[in-house]
Amino acid sequence: MRFKSSNLAQQSVELPGTRSAGATGVFRHVSHTAELVEFLPGHPELKSLYDIWQNSVKEFGPRDFLGHRPFNTVAQSYGGYTWQTYAQIDKRVNAFGSGLMYLNEKVLGNAQLNRWSLGIWSVNRPEWFLSEMSCNLYNNVSVPLYDTLGPDAVEYIINHAETPIVVASANHIASLLENAEKLPTLKAIISMDSLQDTVPVPGHTSAAKVLRAWGAQKGIRVFDFAEIENLGVEFPRKHIRPQADEVCSICYTSGTTGVPKGALLTHKAIVAALGSNAIDVGTESEDVVISFLPLAHIMGRTIDASAMASGAKLGYFRGDILLLLEDVGELRPTFFPAVPRLLNRIYAKLVASTIEAPGLVGALARRGVATKLANLAAGKGVTHPLWDRLLFNKVKQALGGRVQVILTGSAPIAKEVLSFLRIAFCCTVLEGYGSTEGIANATLTVAEEYIPGHIGCPRSSTEIKLVDVPEMNYFSTDKPYPRGEIQIRSVAMFSGYYKDEKNTKEALSEDGWLATGDIGFVDERGCFTIVDRKKNIFKLAQGEYIAPEKIENVLQARCNLIQQIYVHGESLQSTLVSIVVPEPETFAPFVSAIVGKTITMTDLAGLEAAGQDPRVRAAVLKELEKAGKAGALRGFEFVKRVYLTMDAFSVENNMMTPTFKVRRPQVKEAYTAQIQAMYEDINSAAIPAKL
């Protein structure tokens, strides 16, 4: 991994003469005050993803690039990682891209020869990259579909993007065919999995024949990946080089309310983001990156694209997040991008096996952790000659033993978790902040940072300002630090929402500023900290503003009993209540100690019943109170009642978006009776008994 040296004391600066009424001046990274990064370092000639891929093939052709773990159908197990080189992948991209062009024109008879959209629907795997890069070689537009999307969202996106062809893993083909009547633009489906029968069974109709016949009945052609590659080999096409300002992808955001919005991402925007990545957290050709963050989400895509641009190896997980650490142990990555939800689980397991362990092991671990945390807080780094040899070199093996950098984003992470991970894995842990609209490229902590609790400084391609939010009493003139809504502007920025001028104008100002909805402050070092949320706010009866997402993030990061949480308040009530889905692994021993009998983590019915026990609810409420105090919540931000359920919020029950954000109106509706009962309990307790 490659990092530029940083000045911890001054990470960003306010540009002179840029202040305006109701806003701070414009902040830029201290090393990029004169101009923002737009290209890969030293390569201003690479203006598109097409250009970057051609350069990578030329420079790294014989090196391993994409790896996956093949499934042995005889042994019924996964093997080790097998690899394809940059040159081998390039040959396949050319073949698949040519095959797609032939299919679109000659087989489907579409008059539009390029600039059409290709849907991609699967978990991370080599075929995902091949499909996306084929769009870049022939100037088409990729339209990622979240692997967890329900049929309604898939229907909307395919129709909205007017997508004629979808490349999908086999498990999604039936869903597409079932809804064919609602997908008038869809003309062909390409299975990432083989539809060829290796051993035909006499007298039996194969699943492949059934799918093809079903598709023919619906007016949709069904192929597999190899067939399209073979078409491309037989009928090769010349590349159609895209221009920098042309759209390469429509990335649909999975909003918590309303229909998805299609963010238009241009080649130059993504190239600017990759340039920023190369400077701020650069992978190199010797690095190994694990790919498991959803590629339909911009964070996962830019990480994978950065690995490609630098000649690194990119290993895909098997598709099961519960088995991820097994894949990590096999791959032994040097770069581990993650999200707080996963890191919280890793943290909980490490704490249980170290500082909470009984006997001598626990005693030594507590001393070692305390020593290393003290050194970290003093700016002495993340390694220690004695305690690493005795303890932490073994802990590092949980992530394969070679991780140099952990990157976290998409949601806040608790200070104590961040610091513990730094000293436990003896590596750099970076926290980033961004959005689809800003190509996940707003802020990042620097490599040498040891102070937790903030989101770092502007990326090298981005500038930031804070704008007053009077209704919430946040002002750019606040002391000791300016506060306000975080707004960002960058070359690495979407160009608007597809077919949606209204939302585009609401999101982007005329001079290119994106309103994030997050409230933050900037300190004397030029580091930004998020303190509140402008959207989804409401007033309690006493007039206090509440940002429930902020409270949920605080509690979830600091209470390992929580898998999911929804915090609720009303303008006619003065307190908050919550719906909590416990984490079975930690909740099971917790409730077993309270109810006096063993309940295992797999006994969901037993955990559900225990969750209704008043003693358990009271104990969980105490844990939430501890977490709230640790997260510096204000008194009115503490939840006063909790309802426990093992029925997780999910995409399937419409209570979560595909990016794991709670759909607030849907959860409220589903738990109306429980919310009402909690408020009745609070209000009855507040009524004094008659003398």
Reference 49, options 306, 301, 271; nearest CA is 271
Mean of the per-residue pLDDT values for the chain? 92
Q: Cβ distance 432 to 362 under 8 Å?
A: no
Task: Specify the 3-state DSSP secondary structure of 81.
Answer: coil
Residue 379 lies in a domain: yes
Residue 586 scores a pLDDT above 50: yes
- Separation between Cα atoms, residue 159 and residue 175, nearest integer Å: 15
- pLDDT exceeds 50 at position 690: no
Q: Are residues 478 and 361 in the same domain?
A: yes
pLDDT score of 687: 55
The domain spanning residue 440 has which CATH number? 3.40.50.12780
- What would the mean pLDDT of 419-432 be, rounded to a whole number? 96
| Domain co-membership, 580 together with 671 | yes
**Given 498, 533, 568, which residue is the final one in a domain?**
533
Residue 56 has pLDDT above 70, yes or no: yes
pLDDT, position 659? 65
Question: pLDDT at position 479, please?
Answer: 97
Beta-carbon-side half-sphere exposure of residue 295 (alpha carbons within 13 Å): 28
486 pLDDT exceeds 70? yes
d(CA 285, CA 116): 33
CATH number at residue 671: 3.30.300.30
Same domain assignment for residues 116 and 31: no
The beta-carbon contacts of 159-164 under 8 Å, at least 24 apart in sequence, are 159/183, 159/184, 159/185, 160/262, 160/498, 160/499, 161/117, 161/119, 161/250, 161/262, 161/498, 162/116, 162/117, 163/116, 163/117, 163/118, 163/119, 164/104, 164/108, 164/110, 164/116, 164/117, 164/188
pLDDT value, residue 321: 87
Residue matched to tokens 């040891």: 450
The DSSP string of 240-307 is: -PPPTTSEEEEEEE--SSSS-EEEEEEHHHHHHHHHHHHHHSB--TT-EEEE-S-TTSHHHHHHHHHH
Contact between 633 and 653 under an 8 Å Cβ cutoff? The reply is no
Same domain as 458, residue 504: yes
Structure confidence at residue 197 (pLDDT): 63
548 and 480 share a domain?
Answer: no
Looking at the domain assignment, is residue 628 inside a domain?
yes
DSSP state of 219: T
Question: What residue type is assigned to position 464 of the chain?
Answer: I
> Tell me: the pLDDT tens digits for 143-183?
999 876 667 889 999 999 999 999 999 999 999 999 999 99
Q: Would 689 be classed as within a structural domain?
A: no
Which sign, positive or negative, has the C-alpha torsion 419, 420, 425, 430?
Answer: negative
Same domain, 402 and 300: no
Q: Is residue 261 part of a domain?
A: no
Domain contains 254: no
Contact 167, 121 (CB under 8 A): yes
| Burial state string for 475-512 with b = 16 or more CB within 10 A and e = fewer than 16 | bbeeeeebbbbbbbbbbbbbbbbbebeebbeebbeeee
pLDDT value for 149: 67
On whether both 412 and 510 belong to a single domain, the answer is yes
Domain assignment present for residue 318? The answer is no
Both 344 and 413 in one domain: the answer is yes
Is residue 524 classed as helix, strand or coil in its secondary structure?
coil
CA 231, distance to chain mean position in Å, is 35
Q: Judge whether 259 lies within some domain.
A: no
Last residue of one domain, picked from the residues 491, 509, 533: 533
Position 691 pLDDT exceeds 50? no
Mean pLDDT of 567-579: 91
Domain stop point among 517, 533, 549 = 533
| 320 assigned to some structural domain | no
User: Which one, of 296, 256, 259, 270, lies nearest residue 500 by Cα?
Assistant: 259
Question: Rounded to whole angstroms, how far apart are CA atoms 522 and 529?
Answer: 7
Q: Compute the distance between CA of residue 272 and CA of residue 461 in angstroms, rounded to an integer.
A: 7
Residues 296 and 392 in one domain: no
For 374-401, what is the mean pLDDT?
95
522 lies in the same domain as 613: no
Q: What is the pLDDT, as a whole number, of residue 430?
A: 96
Q: Are 240 and 15 in contact (CB under 8 A)?
A: no
Name the percent of the chain lying above pLDDT 90: 79
What mean pLDDT comes out for the span 552-567?
91
What residues make up the domain containing 639? 538-684
Do residues 526 and 12 lie in contact, with contact meaning Cβ atoms separated by under 8 Å?
Answer: yes
pLDDT tier for residue 24 given thresholds of 50, 70 and 90: very high
- Asked if residue 510 and residue 448 are part of one domain, the reply reads yes
Q: Is 61 exposed, middle or buried (0-12, 13-18, 19+ CB in 10 A)?
A: middle
Mark whether 473 and 354 lie in a shared domain. Answer: yes
What pLDDT, on the 0 to 100 scale, is given for residue 686?
59
Please tell me the total count of domains within the chain.
3
Average of per-residue pLDDT across 312-324:
94
Return the closest-CA partner of residue 521 out of 569, 571, 465, 565: 465
For residues 144 and 393, give the distance between their C-alpha atoms in angstroms, rounded to a whole number.
39
- Cβ atoms of 363 and 347 within 8 Å: the answer is no
